[in-house]
Amino acid sequence: MLPLLLAAAISSPTHAQDLVPVLISGFEGLDAASVPVAMELPELLAGVLAGQEELELMQLGQAPAIHDQTASLYMEACPDGQVIGCTFVVGEVAGAAFALTGTVRKNAGAPPPVEDGAPPPPPELMIELQILDIEQVQESLTVKLVYTADIANSFADTVPDMLNDVVEGWVGQVVDIREFEPDEDLEDQVDREEAARDLYDLEGELGEVAGSRTHGDLTTAPRHEDRAKLSHKDLLAQYEGKRNPWDEMDLSSKEYLAWWNSGWDYNSWSRRFDGRKGQLLVRAHGGWGLNPTHGLYWGRVALDEGAITQEAFASQETLTGTGLQLGLGVGYGITPMVEIELGIAREGGQYDADIRQQNADGGLTDRRLETFPQGLLHAWAGVRMVPAPTSTLRPVLGLGAGYWMGNDVTRHTDIPLADLPVYAAPHILSLRGLAGAELRLHEHLDIVLQVPLHLLLAGTAPQVYDEDRGFIVEGYEPGSGPVLAGGLQLAVQARL
């Protein structure tokens, strides 16, 4: 009997049925020397368990497809270190009650001594066989044993009895790998924490896996920093004339290369690669801007000695000025990198009213110069593009149209002189561009630094009433209206 490292717990029977569906899943070789053994273990186990009449055995070739991909290919494409999670996915789809899977690796112990001149012995391999309870989403039993040439007999002596005990509920190391509690073995704790994150990522492939979830976060997903980087040329050469993995994974060769070189496990990368597609994005921003938020009404009335109006002049114009901004935007992702967006903001400015009366000798009376704070409504719509959706820090570009709705003078004060006109509130249209960057804080939360720039197209020209009879001494020449506007904004972005 080979040495077994077992942890057992006694409980009452939990499964009792005539035929128990059991999936024999794939095994993962953790190094080059282990891969051949990992590939032969499923067939070996199938042969060992073939005589168990109470079991309904299922191998990967008999399991249903996972998203139009065979179960065998799904396990082949399983990210490094996620064989347990992949088996849960296949087992759930296949309707299995239990599953066998595990890993094979070189034994970390010291190699045996070798006589001088003798060839070195093959590396000693350690098999970690795991029995999973698919229905309860639990790892029921873990067995560690050393691989030998007599492994078939060792399996025959041990595996059927162990599996039967797990099925009957008499033996098992029952741990929900997504709800583990810290224990005294730090190495086990770290392993289970990684497995918990891996399984959460894999649930995205299935859509539903029984049991409670610990919500994951792409900022903490494991990465394979030591994964060798490939060029596109090397990748195509490696699979020339062979079945390639990117077709099986429904990717282009360049998308597959981007995933491989990223170091992320596939499911974490694919969720990042999906970027904005299908997401509702809500952004709340604050900032400072130089915008067409200021206004000026300039009016003069010239009277003769009999207090009869001889001439009137009035103008209303829009000016650019600085002010604070608060706004809210909503976007919807139509591709991983592109969204359509709508937004509204209140932007601070001021309105000046300079209205005076000129008497017969040219002097000004009834001096009336006032300044009023105002807030203008600013709305916009457009397209926002964010390249590199898999990156933590991403550039932001945008193009669209903006609209400001201004105020007329009567919104702030009355015109005391009847000869002066009241102009309608200005409405301003712009071509809106955007540049900036967004930083991922969490799978559902980003911060965005953005600089909107506007080319003001319409509605900025001054409105002028001028009788031009030569009586008004103090003249005023309105400007041509503002042309450019912009700002600096900091936003918090939620992805729903």
Residue-wise pLDDT for 364-406, tens only, equals 776 667 899 999 999 999 999 999 887 889 999 999 999 999 8
Q: Give the residue with greater pLDDT, 131 vs 227.
A: 131
Each residue's pLDDT tens digit, 322-360: 999 999 999 999 988 999 999 999 999 999 998 888 887
User: Which range, of 19-28, 222-231, 455-464, averages the lowest pLDDT?
Assistant: 222-231
Nearest to 215 by CA among 167, 271, 284, 168: 271
Nearest to 80 by CA among 193, 234, 226: 226
Helix, strand, coil percent content, the chain, rounded in steps of 5 = 25, 40, 40
- pLDDT for the residue numbered 139: 83
Query: Rounded to an integer, what distance in angstroms lies between the CA atom of residue 288 and that of residue 435?
Result: 15
- pLDDT for the residue numbered 366: 63
- Phi, psi (rounded to 5 degrees) for 235: -65, -45
Residue linked to tokens 């190495």: 187
Q: How confident is the model at residue 204 (pLDDT cuts 50, 70, 90)?
A: very low
> Phi-psi bin for 473: left (phi > 0), alpha (psi -120 to 50), beta?
alpha
CA distances from 39 to 46, 75, 89, 309, 327 (A): 13, 12, 20, 103, 58
Q: How far is CA 348 from the centre of its chain?
A: 33
- pLDDT for the residue numbered 181: 45
User: Which range, of 33-47, 54-68, 214-228, 245-259, averages the lowest pLDDT?
Assistant: 214-228
Amino acid type, 424: A
For the chain, give the percent of residues with pLDDT over 70.
77
- pLDDT for the residue numbered 2: 36
- pLDDT for the residue numbered 199: 44
- Rounded to an integer, the average pLDDT of 219-228 is 53
Q: How confident is the model at residue 438 (pLDDT cuts 50, 70, 90)?
A: very high
CA dihedral 155, 110, 26, 267 (to 10 degrees): 150
Q: Give the residue with greater pLDDT, 189 vs 32.
A: 32
Structural domains for the chain: 20-216 (3.40.50.10070), 221-272 (no CATH), 280-495 (2.40.160.20)
DSSP class per residue in 471-492: --SS---------EEEEEEEEE
- Phi, psi (rounded to 5 degrees) for 193: -65, -40
Cβ neighbours of residue 253 closer than 8 Å, sequence gap 6 or more = 232, 235, 236, 244, 246
pLDDT for 287 beyond 80:
yes
Q: How confident is the model at residue 116 (pLDDT cuts 50, 70, 90)?
A: low
Q: How confident is the model at residue 157 (pLDDT cuts 50, 70, 90)?
A: confident
Strands (E), 304-444: 309-333, 338-358, 364-365, 369-385, 393-405, 427-442
User: Which range, of 95-109, 239-253, 270-284, 341-355, averages the lowest pLDDT?
Assistant: 239-253
pTM, entire model = 0.52
Mean pLDDT score across all residues of the chain: 78
